[in-house]
Amino acid sequence: MKRILVLTAALLPVFAQPAFARIGVGRVVKMTRDGLKSPLQKAAERGDAKAQYALGNAYSKGQDVSKSDEQAVSWYQKSASQGYAPAQAALGYAYSSGLGVTHDDQQAVSFFQKAANQGLAEAQYSLAIAYYTGRGVTQNYEQASFWFQRSANQGFVPAQFYLGVMYRNGAGIPEDDDRALFWFHKAADKGYADAQYNLGLIYHEGKVVKKDEKQATFWYQQAANQGLVEAEFNLGIAYLKGQGVQKDKDKATFWLEKAADKGDSHAQDVLEMMNK
């Protein structure tokens, strides 16, 4: 009943939204009756690139101003035109998702590239996704691996996981299970559910490392606690069969029902058999 390790393009997410920068400028406020402006807005209008980016974030989130994707993009463009990498990445995300601008994957890649070249980990990751999926650029696994590596080296957790995927599959880089395991552990230790689940599979398989059902179940548990349906299913099976844990039908039922409630047909089938 255990599921095999399947790492394909279908597992890859869409472009990552850049993390908002923390900058020491004033809190965004609306225009007052007296026409007073916040220090942030004043700084943005003076041409401060960081303030322009922060004001774009405020409009994007509707934080103390009326939410407006168009206004967000306008301020991101002002900031990006000055070479500010987080704003360039934010524009890439806007174009990739069609928020405030017409959807345009090629434009998205262009802005991700600019920010990635400046070393922004989130942009490097998004650029890697573009090369992996061929979205807005010609598909190129070598380039995808290159940018995943650059991002992962800076500690960006999703990139660490997907770099493990690339090593596991030998996509754009030589297949290397030891390196895959290294990067999966990096991401799993930081709480990345997909990495935790895949570690569980690796320990269950016993090909890359010595088979260890206790370790497999431990990692399934970590991922299941975050709601990953595949991990919930495998954890339920572990309790049902007593693999790495003491056999416990109640716990098996609990986790299988969790997965079944999310539409997992395998969990639904097992529950049906258990109830016969």
CATH 1.25.40.10 matches 191-275: yes
Q: Where are the alpha helices (DSSP H) in 26-84?
A: 39-45, 49-61, 69-80
Tokens of 273: 């058999």
Q: Tens digits of per-residue pLDDT, 146-191? A: 999 999 999 999 999 999 999 999 999 999 999 999 999 999 999 9
Q: What residue ranges do the domains of the chain occupy?
A: 191-275
Closest CA to 141 of 176, 113, 164, 172: 172
Could you report the per-residue pLDDT of 170-179, keeping only the tens digit for each?
999 999 999 9
Instruction: Quote the CA–CA distance of 15 and 105 in Å, as a whole number.
Output: 10
Q: Model pTM?
A: 0.84
- pLDDT at residue number 15: 46
The whole-angstrom separation of Cα 137 and Cα 156 is 22
Assigned token pair, 25: 């400028």
Closest-CA residue to 120 (of 94, 83, 145, 165): 83
Residue 94 near residue 100 (C-beta atoms within 8 A): yes
Q: How far is it, in rounded angstroms, from Cα 162 to Cα 199?
A: 13
Which regions in the chain score pLDDT beneath 70? 1-36
Q: What is the pLDDT of residue 25?
A: 37
pLDDT at 38: 86
Question: Which sign, positive or negative, has the C-alpha torsion 97, 157, 149, 5?
Answer: negative
pLDDT of 21 reads 30
Residue with the two structure tokens 């598909």: 139
Residue 36, pLDDT score? 59
What confidence score (pLDDT) does residue 51 get?
Answer: 95
